Structure 1
Amino acid sequence: MTAFDAGLRGHECLLELADERVPLPVGRWRGEADAADEVLLRACGGPTVDLGCGPGRLVAALVRRGVVALGVDSSAVAVALTRSRGAPAVRRDLFGRLPGAGRWSHALLADGNIGIGGDPVALLRRAGKLLRRGGSVLVEVDPPGCGLRRERARIAGGPWFDWARLDAAALAAAARRAGLRPGWVVERDGRWFAEVVRP
């Protein structure tokens, strides 16, 4: 069981940080890909791995478009929900052995998943190792002005875990430290997305 399982099942959840509580967009997670998600989906021109896929809306949308895609999540609930959409998914630690390492065209870090583990540089370095040369990590980031915030977080009074939040400028700096090259940044429907590329 993971901290996010209640949200994956559709229950309202708050991400509790040191100084605020952030409602998790569980409805969006469990719904179909929306107009803002199209920014990510259209950028996926080849085999794509979705890191922290949750209920699998992006993996399923890619598969329907004929794109080879795989969801990865540490939650058995997430993997089951993704597979129920007809999309492939594996239950793995993102930092463990993953299928296709070094051959993916794109890695997705949507829905704030750049925060996983509380160290965006380490996560980007890991994602970069999954990519072929010239491949890209497609990241959803916070609105401008957030910078980089390393946090302790928990859900529904559960155990605390390491998390991070960052905006596009902080992502660019983290990407360079991870050996990746910053690319485009775009806003759609109040959500912000960016690309970083493996040279």
Structure 2
Amino acid sequence: MLTGFEPGLLGRRVCLELGDGSRISLPVDRWWAPSDGGDELLLRRCTGPTVDLGCGPGRLTAALTDRGIPALGVDISPVAVALTRGRGAAAVCRNLFDRLPGEGRWRHALLADGNIGIGGDPGALLHRVGELLAPGGTALVEVERPGTGLRRGHVRLTGDGHPPGEWFAWAWLGVESLREVVGASGLVPRWFAERGGRWFAGLVKVAA
């Protein structure tokens, strides 16, 4: 989940502005809504303690909590963390590269809603996910459609009634490029799937 959103942005058009001036519209309303069919593909694979990285307003963290699955949302936005807690789920306001509760013991880690782009380096991000997971744990990742490849750049948030924010590093990773970036993360891709135009992958942390 991209940071910097407030509740008042619900229903507005919000975009990512790229360095060349082009804009990508963001599905803000979906992020604020209850979990949907595409989310279900991820949620039903969470059978044990799950850390939701970049949880945003907490729809996935809350959905897991409602199902009796121990879940923790992580986001650098205090507003996002407060909203997640308001839904009855646990969340911490922290950079996911900093020390987190349960390191090396999580059964599942979620990177939904384009969060594979956090930090602009999917390889480094997956390495961090590998540190959080227990052996045999799974990373459940939403990626971009085939043909996207790996793109990196600096972006900022802008849109209707939303002044441009600060520039930050981001990345887009096509499903076909996932195997190229796993590197020494200890994660091995096991499955790929598409639901409603969204693409997903499951990676397993192999024992050292």
Report the TM-score range of the alignment, normalised by the length of the smaller protein. Answer: over 0.9
8 A contact 1:102–1:129 mirrored in 2: yes
Q: What amino acid does structure 2 have at the position aligned with 1:4?
A: G
8 A contact 2:191–2:201 mirrored in 1: yes
- Given the two structures, how large is their TM-score scaled by the length of structure 2? 0.91
Alignment correspondent of 1:197: 204
**Cα gap change, 1:193/1:170 in structure 2, threshold over 3 Å: closer, same or farther?**
same
The 1-side partners of 2:40 and 2:129 are apart by 21
Count of aligned pairs between the two proteins: 198
**Cα gap change, 1:77/1:8 in structure 2, threshold over 3 Å: closer, same or farther?**
farther
1:131 to 130, 133, 151: 133
Q: CA deviation at 1:176?
A: 3.5
1:95 to 94, 97, 106: 97
* Residues 143-152 or 163-172, more deviating: 163-172
8 A contact 2:3–2:76 mirrored in 1: no
1:29-67 CA distance string (max 9 Å, x none): 000000110010011111100000000000000011110
Alignment correspondent of 2:48: 46
Q: What amino acid does structure 1 have at the position aligned with 2:142?
A: E
* Residues 148-157 or 176-185, more deviating: 176-185
1:1-199 to structure 2, matched below 5 A, reads 3-6=3-6, 9-10=9-10, 11-19=12-20, 20-156=22-158, 157-199=164-206
The 2-side partners of 1:88 and 1:18 are apart by 36
SS in 1 for 2:44: helix
Q: CA deviation at 1:183?
A: 1.2
1:124-156 CA distance string (max 9 Å, x none): 000110000010111000000000001110012
1:83-112 CA distance string (max 9 Å, x none): 111011000010001000010001000000
**Cα gap change, 1:195/1:7 in structure 2, threshold over 3 Å: closer, same or farther?**
farther
Q: What amino acid does structure 2 have at the position aligned with 1:94?
A: L
1:155-185 CA distance string (max 9 Å, x none): 1222111000011121222124433111100
Query: After TM superposition, where is structure 1 displaced by more than 6 Å over at least 4 residues in a row?
Result: none
- Given the two structures, how large is their TM-score scaled by the length of structure 1? 0.95
The 2-side partners of 1:146 and 1:15 are apart by 17
* Residues 53-62 or 8-17, more deviating: 8-17
SS in 2 for 1:123: helix
The 1-side partners of 2:74 and 2:102 are apart by 12
SS in 2 for 1:138: strand
* Residues 107-116 or 179-188, more deviating: 179-188
8 A contact 1:7–1:24 mirrored in 2: no
SS in 1 for 2:37: coil
Q: RMSD value over aligned CA atoms?
A: 1.5
The 1-side partners of 2:134 and 2:185 are apart by 15
Q: Which runs of 5+ in 2 are unaligned?
A: 159-163
